[in-house]
């Protein structure tokens, strides 16, 4: 199954990269397969460091910022998982530290096959309402404007707006506005 969340990986300069990532998971959540695009920061970091942390979060703003690389200020606070270990988002629901065991670059997208080395629960995951689902779908669409075309994506984002208006709160309104602004400012 594919679960949408966030991955933290270590950059070459010692800083942290936070990216939206939907890895393939086994049912027991002991192994995962990450498929970052070649040339992306996450791809480079996983190839070099061969480890990271994947997070379950219910913060739609964080997912949008990560999916669209809209970090206009400092990154969210991070906490070390264990001495000398990886770093996780301080405010998340669950986290899974992982180590890449195998890389397969024979297909269209590379596959980083990993095992979970540590995990933890920070707080309950309340779930997703229609607004949060719509925000995530809009962010994924906006991240694919070069492939899908801006006009098509703007139409789809407009279609998703009613779910946000009807069931969202301030966080979803803010996240959806970030997506709309990003998409509107992309070349056709």
Question: What residue ranges define each of the domains in the chain, with the CATH number in brackets?
Answer: 5-121 (2.30.110.10), 130-184 (1.20.58)
| DSSP state at residue 101 | E
Mean pLDDT of 157-181: 96
pLDDT in tens, 110-124: 999 999 999 999 999
Least confident of 5-14, 60-69, 72-81, 129-138: 72-81
Q: Give me 90's structure tokens.
A: 């301080």
pLDDT in tens, 56-85: 999 999 999 999 999 888 899 999 988 777
Separation of alpha carbons 145 and 59, rounded Å: 23
Confidence of residue 132 (pLDDT cuts 50, 70, 90): very high
Q: What is the pLDDT of residue 1?
A: 79
Say if residue 178's pLDDT is above 90: yes
pLDDT in tens, 146-160: 999 999 999 999 999
Confidence of residue 86 (pLDDT cuts 50, 70, 90): confident
Q: What is the pLDDT of residue 62?
A: 95
Separation of alpha carbons 139 and 142, rounded Å: 5
Query: What pTM, to 2 d.p., does this model score?
Result: 0.91
- Under 8 Å between Cβ of 55 and 62: no
Instruction: Report helix angle 170-184 to 150-167, nearest 10.
Output: 170
């Amino acid at each position: 199954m594919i679960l949408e969340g966030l991955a933290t990986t270590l950059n070459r300069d010692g800083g942290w990269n936070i990216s939206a990532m939907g890895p393939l998971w086994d049912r027991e959540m002991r192994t995962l397969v990450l498929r970052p695009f070649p040339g992306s920061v996450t791809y480079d970091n996983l190839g070099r460091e061969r480890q990271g942390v994947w997070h379950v979060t219910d913060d739609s703003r964080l997912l949008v910022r990560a999916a669209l690389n809209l970090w206009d200020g400092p990154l969210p606070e991070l906490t070390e998982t264990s001495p000398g270990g990886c770093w996780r988002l301080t405010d998340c629901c669950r986290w899974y530290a992982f180590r890449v065991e195998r890389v397969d670059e024979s297909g269209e997208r590379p596959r980083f096959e990993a095992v979970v080395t540590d995990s933890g629960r920070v707080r309950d995951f309340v779930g997703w309402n229609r607004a949060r689902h719509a925000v995530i779908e809009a962010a994924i669409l906006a991240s694919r404007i070069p492939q899908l075309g801006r006009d098509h994506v703007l139409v789809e984002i407009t279609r998703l707006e009613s779910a946000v208006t009807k069931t969202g709160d301030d966080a979803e309104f803010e996240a959806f506005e970030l997506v709309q602004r990003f998409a509107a400012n992309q070349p056709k």
